[in-house]
Amino acid sequence: MRNAERSYWRSLAWPFSAVLTIAVATTLPNAAIADEGGLSFWLPGLYGSLSSVPGVPGWSYSAIYYHSDISAGGNKTFPQGGEIRAGLAGRADIVAYGPTYIFEEPVLGGQAAVSLLGIVGNTEASVDATLTGPGGQTVSGHLSQSLFSYGDVLPQATLKWNEGVNNFMVYAAGDIPVGDYDEHRLANAGLGHGAIDGGVGYTYFDPKTGHEFSVAAGLTYNLENEHTHYQNGIDAHIDWGASQFLSEQFHLGLVGYYYQQLTGDSGEGATLGDFISSVAGIGPQIGYIFPVGDMQGYVNLKGYYEFEAENRPKGWNVWVTLAFSPTAPPATPMK
């Protein structure tokens, strides 16, 4: 491969890599955004195409608009806020934003990057019934709440290597639970507890043909929610993306995910027992790269339809990503 061609595609790949790895978005989904509400710290679908490809050193910035619409039938119950709630449903309109810095000096032969994400937006939640614990009162009917507020702070670090068409990644991420959270509310912007997530990724990318496939897998360890004395079990997740570049600026393809809780929930608030959850999703994606002064812009649209949900609400979600990153300097072709 010529150096010039490698330099161009390296620049092209950065917006995908940056945007889809800077965020472990805990506060996005909806109704009392906590694992005990049937939802997880890791937001399935976070990683996607070219997620393991190294980028261009320097500062990059991105914003992600996320919309979700999920529900569970009235016969489905979830532990939440110290109560058992039935028929959870929710909507979210969230913006996640923040910088990423890629280091120029190699670390262990790879490229290191760090990022910090903030979250703000609106969540809406409803239940068909709220059942208090054994021996308590039973309240039936419909209750809805909405909240516009700020979420948790989400740091992440990655290390990536490139070997021709093969790219590899390791990452570590966490949740700092400083977001707006109240265990008595249906709708929250904060998670209510800390979490640590780590994993690995791989991307096959051939610039000559434009063929690309990426997969990333990780595990989440959740700290106890001190407000409700509820601790979610260990979660496993796999995100994938496949795309084809139809030109140097335009690509389209498919994305998907699978989430599976490996160990049961625990703590005084885990009144439903293990409450192990899982869900899968799949959908289309489309992206476009464009110049912005001496930088490079990227916009991406992707959506997921969820299925095979267990102990978790399901529905659909849409992501719109806008990113700005340095443009790779031109390279001299090999002689």
**Strand partners for 187:** 31
Cα separation, 226 vs 151, whole angstroms: 17
Question: Cα–Cα distances in Å, from 84 out to 88, 134, 252, 270, 273?
Answer: 10, 10, 42, 10, 12
In a domain, 332, yes or no: no
CB 285, CB 252: distance < 8 Å = yes
In a domain, 333, yes or no: no
Span 10-32, average pLDDT: 45
Which of these, 76, 52, 79, 256, lies nearest to 160 by C-alpha position? Answer: 52
pTM for this prediction: 0.82
Number of domains in the chain: 1
Cα separation, 304 vs 307, whole angstroms: 10
Dmax over CA atoms of the chain, in Å, equals 81
What's the pLDDT score for residue 64?
A: 92
pLDDT digits (tens, 9 = 90+) for 7-18: 445 555 555 554
Which of these, 199, 194, 202, lies nearest to 172 by C-alpha position? Answer: 199
Evaluate if residue 258 carries a pLDDT over 80.
Answer: yes
pLDDT digits (tens, 9 = 90+) for 275-308: 788 899 999 999 999 999 889 999 999 999 999 8
Ramachandran region of residue 230, left (φ > 0), alpha (ψ -120 to 50) or beta?
beta
Cα separation, 132 vs 130, whole angstroms: 7
In a domain, 147, yes or no: yes
Span 132-151, average pLDDT: 68
pLDDT > 70 fraction of the chain, expressed in percent and rounded: 75
Terminal CA-CA length for the chain: 11
Span 111-124, average pLDDT: 94
CATH, residue 39? 2.40.160.40
In a domain, 263, yes or no: yes
Cα separation, 295 vs 11, whole angstroms: 10
In a domain, 146, yes or no: yes
The 10 Å Cβ neighbour count of residue 136 is 10
Least confident of 63-72, 262-271, 312-321: 262-271
Range of the domain at 91: 3-326
Note the helical H segments in the chain: 3-19
Evaluate if residue 324 carries a pLDDT over 50.
Answer: yes
**8-state DSSP, 225:** B
In a domain, 293, yes or no: yes
In a domain, 62, yes or no: yes
Average pLDDT along the chain: 81
Q: Which residue has the higher pLDDT, 270 or 302?
A: 302
In a domain, 202, yes or no: yes
Do the strands 89-102 and 111-131 form a parallel or antiparallel pair, or are they unpaired?
antiparallel
Q: How confident is the model at residue 78 (pLDDT cuts 50, 70, 90)?
A: very low
pLDDT digits (tens, 9 = 90+) for 212-225: 999 999 999 999 99
Cα separation, 261 vs 35, whole angstroms: 10
CB 65, CB 23: distance < 8 Å = no
